Structure 1
Amino acid sequence: MAEVQQLRVQEAVDAMVKSVERENIRKMQGLMFRCSANCCEDTQASMQQVHQCIERCHAPLAQAQALVTSELERFQDRLARCTMHCNDKAKDSMDAGTKELQVKRQLDSCVTKCVDDHMHLIPTMTKKMKESLSSIGK
Structure 2
Amino acid sequence: MEEEQQRLQKAAMDVMDTLDRRCLRTLQIQMHECAIDCCKDTTNNIKTLETCSNNCSKELVEAQNYIQNEFNKWQQRILRCVQDCSDAVTDKMPSSRNHSDTTEMKYIKEAEACASKCFNKHIQLLPKLTDKIVDNISNKTVRY
TM over 0.5: yes
Match of 1:41 in 2: 40
- Aligned-residue sequence identity (percent) comes to 28
Match of 1:59 in 2: 58
- The aligned amino acid for 1:132 is N
TM-superposition CA deviations, 1:78-115 (whole Å, max 9, x none): 10111111111222222465722321231122111111
Q: Give structure 2 stretches of 5+ with no counterpart.
A: none
How many aligned positions are there? 135
- The aligned amino acid for 1:43 is T
Match of 2:111 in 1: 107
| Structure 2 SS opposite 1:43 | coil
**Quick one: distance in 2 between partners of 1:78 and 1:69?**
14
Q: Give structure 1 stretches of 5+ with no counterpart.
A: none
Say whether residues 1:71 and 2:70 are aligned partners: yes
TM-score normalised per structure 2: 0.87
TM-superposition CA deviations, 1:23-65 (whole Å, max 9, x none): 2111111110110010011111222221111111100000111
**Quick one: distance in 1 between partners of 2:21 and 2:58?**
19
TM-score normalised per structure 1: 0.90
**Quick one: distance in 1 between partners of 2:90 and 2:37?**
61
* Equivalent in 121, 126, 136 of residue 122 of structure 1: 126
- Equivalent residues in 2 for 1:23-42 (5 A)? 23-42=22-41
TM-superposition CA deviations, 1:101-131 (whole Å, max 9, x none): 3212311221111112111110110000111
TM-superposition CA deviations, 1:4-33 (whole Å, max 9, x none): 211111111110101111221111111101
- The aligned amino acid for 2:25 is R
**Quick one: distance in 1 between partners of 2:105 and 2:56?**
58
**Quick one: distance in 1 between partners of 2:3 and 2:121?**
15
**Quick one: distance in 1 between partners of 2:40 and 2:70?**
36
